[in-house]
Structures are given as structure tokens and as C-alpha cells.
């Protein structure tokens, strides 16, 4: 055992015991975070506008501070972007994480000196949890790659801004610098396809032990590697045994990945976002990710089916239930207050509090009242693929409300790596799995409002071509699993 491996195991044990202190006291931990946030922000413009000095408990907080999304918080954020101090949080942010997707264009998410360390610690602790549980630590001596955005930062009124993954690249600890790939120069390449080609060239002869990134883009990297070397990834990288991912569910990609790699490898799921690092997979044996209750974030939860009612109930961590679809609401030490990040989650465990990401509150299909969410389509596809050699590269789902003939239906756009022998039979299997999960969908099929779903095959690399056509190829960009309209579907049809 190398000194580095031994040290990693000791450190992992230490972090485990530290983590257990707040894991075993979740409600008190969240109360402490709540009071710290309110106290530290009392003298900010937001704190004064919402009378933080009069807030004594959560009931007061609910009365004083409504739920907001980015657009509703934007008047405050605009002041921060202009360089004003003490607006949402004390002083100025260290960075803005620049993201896209709102009606007004780019979003500028503040990162402060208080919030930034938690992004780094959470990623580190996810790996240390894995080491502590499994005893596997030899990979720390190999090379590690994190497929991410460019670390080149711009400046806006004295505050650096860039993609979150690019900002985080500036915080790689010294003891990992020699192990980390790709090179700084390659990481700075903006064009994704050029960047991946350069990463392939740099890594193909290295001892890669850990690979991390959004599955769809790691898949692109693997395919280019395999084509260049003409052998499985597991033979190119004999010591590659750990895949770290986030952003999307890995399960629909797993069969394709194992085929590309040539064997199974362990995986760790993360739940990071520009707004905060919310959870990571802390065990290989239980479903879900550990919700990080001690990371400068106070969590609230709103039931997804109540979210758009006039006054939905807001629940704290001690009030949540298993299996309910909740909209995740956060207040943070970066100055985001009762902020709707857009993600929905479900709890898989209450001791400790573990979650899965079930979808996006705006990404669903309910054209006929079916309320289909991302988790359901992913689970249905996974169930239909079990025990087969079918492999998929990517997929998305949209409603077809006005077909040329017959009843309306859900249209599944799937790019296959290995197609089913009978496409209609495969569609029926997915449909049956959907009906078992979603009673509303089942009622619509039984009542002949909808007919069985239809699969439309997407050509090889069709989804990559689509993402490229809208300027979102690579990096942290993700394809929505489903949409309540046909904006993506019609573009795929055209292509």
C-alpha cells in the first residue's frame, strides 16, 4: 500500500466520523443553519426588505419571505451584478456562476467566500465516503479526469464569472494537481468536439483510474477513445474502476457504458448545481444520495402536485415523507432566499436523509392530465431493457396531441446503439411499465384518450447534432428527458 493510499484511508475515516455528527442530528443541524443565515444577512438589503431582524422561527420566515425563482429574484441579482455590496449577502460575491435557460437569457448565480468551500468539500467527501465504505483507495495514485467547462474566467464589475465547473477547476488541491487531467491548456479549449479530441490524445496512454462527467458527454469521449485505440476502454485504462457522474440518471446509459468499457465499474452519483452542492452518493449498497444538511443551505420542500396552487405548504426536513415528489427550495450562504432551483426530488430514506432527483418542475408531460415526470420515463425504459441486449445512447419524450390519424400518444425519440428485434413490442413493454408507475397515464390508456406510446428512432449522433444546433454541445449542458410541448420533438423530426 502506497503512502498516498494509506493517507487517503485515514482521511476518509476521519471525514466519515465528522459527517456522522450532523447525519445523526439532522433537524438540529438545519435549525442551526437557518438561524446562522438569518443572523448573518440581517444588514443586507434583502434582509432589511424582509425584516430579518424580526424573524425568530420558521413560521415567521414563511410569512416574511415568499418562494422565488431566478426571474423573481433578478431585481436583487441585477444590483449585485452592477457591483453593489450587501444586497443578498454581506459584501460582494467571489464569483458569478454563469448559466443559461431563463427567459431573460444568462443567469448569474452568486458564489461567496462562505459558499464556495462547500462545493469543493462535497466533491471531495463523496470520494472519501466511497473509500471509507469499500476500502478501495489505490485509484488515488492513478490519473483522474473531470470533463468540465473552460476555467477561463471573465470579469464583471470586479467579480469573476464563468461556468461552475470552470470555477471549481481553480480549486483543485495541490496533492491532486499531478494526477489531474486534462492539461490546463486543453481544458481551456471552448469548442467541445475539439476539446474532446485533444483530451483523447492526452489521455489515451495514461493510467486513468477515475473518470468524471455528465454521462452523455463521457460517452462521447469513450467512443472517440475506442475508435482511436480499437479496443474497449477497460483495456485502454486497465486501472479504471470508478466513474463519477451527475446531472442526469446514469441507469439508461449503464448498459452502453459497460459495453464500451468491457466490464462493470463502480460509480458515484453527485447532485451539484451552481446554486449549491446538495447531495452525493454515500454508499454503494443503498439507493439515493445523502442530502447535505450541514453545507450552508437551509432546505424547504413543496409537494410538486401542490406547487402551482395559491398557497402551497412549505415543509422542513423533519416533515418530509418517503416517495413524495417535492420541489426543492433553498436558502443559502450565497444569498439565494427561498429559491426554487427547478429540480424535484424524492426521499428514499429518512434515516439518514437520502434523495433521488426525480426531474424538473417545468419538465413534465401533462398534456392530458397525466403528470408524467422524468423519474417515471427513466424507470420505465430501464425496466423494458432489463434482460435484453438493447443499448441506448440518448432519449427524450414529448406528447403528440394532433396526430394525422388515430388517438394522441406519447412519442419517444430514442437513439439506439443496439436496437430491439421488435420495436413495437419494446414500445409496449415501456408503455406497460409506464402504466404501472402512473395511474393517470393508465386511466388515459384504458379510457382510450391516449394510445400506446410510439417510438421514433433518432439517427446515430442525432442528439449531439441537435445540441450542437442550439449551441449547447458538451460541458454541463443536458437534454431534457421530457417536455410538455414539441419544441425539441419537431426539431428532431426536421433533422
The pLDDT score that the predictor gives to residue 100 is 67
In tens digits, what is the pLDDT along the chain, a chain of 495 residues?
788 888 899 999 999 999 999 999 999 999 999 999 999 999 999 999 999 999 999 999 999 999 999 999 999 999 999 999 999 999 999 999 988 654 446 889 999 999 999 999 999 999 999 999 999 999 999 999 988 888 889 998 889 998 888 898 888 777 667 788 998 899 898 888 899 999 999 999 999 999 998 888 888 899 999 999 999 999 999 999 999 998 777 887 888 899 999 999 999 999 999 999 999 999 999 999 999 999 999 999 999 989 888 889 999 999 999 989 999 999 999 999 999 998 999 999 999 999 999 888 877 787 887 888 888 898 999 999 999 999 999 999 999 988 989 999 999 999 999 999 999 999 999 999 999 988 889 989 998 889 999 999 999 989 999 988 888 777 667 788 888 889 899 898 888
Listed in order, strand segments (DSSP E) in 319-431 are 326-332, 339-350, 353-360, 391-400, 409-418
Q: Quote the CA–CA distance of 199 and 196 in Å, as a whole number.
A: 5
The pLDDT score that the predictor gives to residue 231 is 95
Instruction: Look up the pTM and report it.
Output: 0.84
The pLDDT score that the predictor gives to residue 103 is 46
The pLDDT score that the predictor gives to residue 237 is 96
The pLDDT score that the predictor gives to residue 29 is 98
The pLDDT score that the predictor gives to residue 38 is 98
The pLDDT score that the predictor gives to residue 102 is 43
The pLDDT score that the predictor gives to residue 105 is 66
Centroid of chain to Cα 41 = 28
User: What does the pLDDT look like over 222-232, one tens digit per residue?
Assistant: 999 999 999 99
Amino acid at each position: 500500500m502506497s503512502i498516498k493510499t494509506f493517507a487517503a484511508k485515514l482521511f476518509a475515516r476521519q471525514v466519515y466520523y465528522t459527517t456522522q455528527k450532523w447525519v445523526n442530528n439532522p433537524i438540529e443541524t438545519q435549525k442551526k443553519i437557518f438561524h446562522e443565515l438569518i443572523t448573518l444577512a440581517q444588514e443586507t438589503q434583502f434582509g432589511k426588505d424582509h425584516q430579518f431582524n424580526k424573524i425568530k422561527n420558521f413560521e415567521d420566515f414563511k410569512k416574511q419571505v415568499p418562494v422565488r425563482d431566478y426571474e423573481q429574484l433578478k431585481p436583487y441579482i441585477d444590483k449585485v451584478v452592477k457591483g453593489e455590496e450587501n444586497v443578498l449577502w454581506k459584501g460582494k460575491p467571489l464569483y458569478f456562476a454563469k448559466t443559461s435557460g431563463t427567459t431573460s437569457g444568462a443567469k448569474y448565480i452568486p458564489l461567496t467566500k462562505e459558499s464556495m468551500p462547500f462545493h469543493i468539500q462535497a466533491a471531495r467527501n463523496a470520494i472519501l465516503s466511497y473509500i471509507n465504505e469499500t476500502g478501495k483507495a489505490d485509484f488515488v495514485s492513478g490519473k483522474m479526469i473531470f470533463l468540465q467547462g473552460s476555467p477561463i474566467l471573465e470579469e464583471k464589475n470586479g467579480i469573476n464569472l464563468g461556468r461552475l465547473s470552470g470555477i471549481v477547476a481553480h480549486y483543485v488541491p495541490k496533492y491532486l494537481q499531478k494526477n489531474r487531467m486534462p492539461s490546463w491548456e486543453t481544458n481551456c479549449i471552448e469548442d467541445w468536439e475539439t476539446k474532446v479530441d485533444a483530451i483523447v490524445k492526452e489521455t489515451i496512454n495514461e493510467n486513468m483510474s477515475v473518470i468524471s462527467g455528465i454521462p452523455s458527454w463521457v460517452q462521447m469521449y469513450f467512443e472517440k477513445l475506442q475508435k482511436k485505440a480499437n479496443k474497449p476502454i477497460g483495456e485502454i485504462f486497465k486501472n479504471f474502476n470508478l466513474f463519477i457522474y451527475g446531472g442526469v440518471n446514469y441507469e439508461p446509459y449503464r448498459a452502453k457504458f459497460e459495453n464500451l468499457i468491457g466490464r462493470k465499474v463502480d460509480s458515484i452519483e453527485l447532485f451539484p448545481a451552481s446554486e449549491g452542492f446538495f447531495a452525493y452518493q454515500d454508499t454503494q449498497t443503498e439507493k439515493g444520495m445523502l442530502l447535505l444538511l450541514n453545507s450552508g443551505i437551509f432546505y424547504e420542500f413543496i409537494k410538486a402536485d401542490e406547487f402551482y396552487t395559491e398557497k402551497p405548504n412549505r415543509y422542513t426536513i423533519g416533515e418530509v415523507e418517503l416517495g413524495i415528489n417535492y420541489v426543492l427550495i433553498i436558502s443559502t450562504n450565497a444569498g439565494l432566499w427561498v429559491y426554487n432551483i427547478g429540480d424535484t426530488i424524492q426521499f428514499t430514506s429518512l434515516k439518514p436523509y437520502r434523495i433521488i432527483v426525480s426531474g424538473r418542475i417545468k419538465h413534465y408531460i401533462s398534456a392530458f392530465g397525466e403528470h408524467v415526470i422524468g423519474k417515471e420515463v427513466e424507470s420505465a425504459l430501464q425496466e423494458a431493457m432489463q434482460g435484453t441486449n438493447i443499448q441506448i445512447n440518448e432519449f427524450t419524450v414529448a406528447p403528440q396531441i394532433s396526430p394525422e390519424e388515430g388517438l394522441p400518444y406519447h412519442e419517444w425519440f430514442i437513439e439506439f446503439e443496439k436496437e430491439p428485434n421488435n420495436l413495437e413490442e419494446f414500445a409496449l413493454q415501456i408503455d406497460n411499465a409506464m402504466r404501472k408507475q402512473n395511474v393517470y397515464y393508465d386511466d388515459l390508456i384504458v379510457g382510450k384518450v391516449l394510445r400506446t406510446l410510439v417510438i421514433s428512432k433518432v439517427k446515430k449522433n442525432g442528439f449531439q447534432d441537435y445540441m450542437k444546433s442550439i449551441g449547447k454541445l458538451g460541458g454541463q449542458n443536458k437534454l431534457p428527458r421530457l417536455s410538455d410541448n414539441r419544441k425539441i420533438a419537431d426539431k428532431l423530426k426536421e433533422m
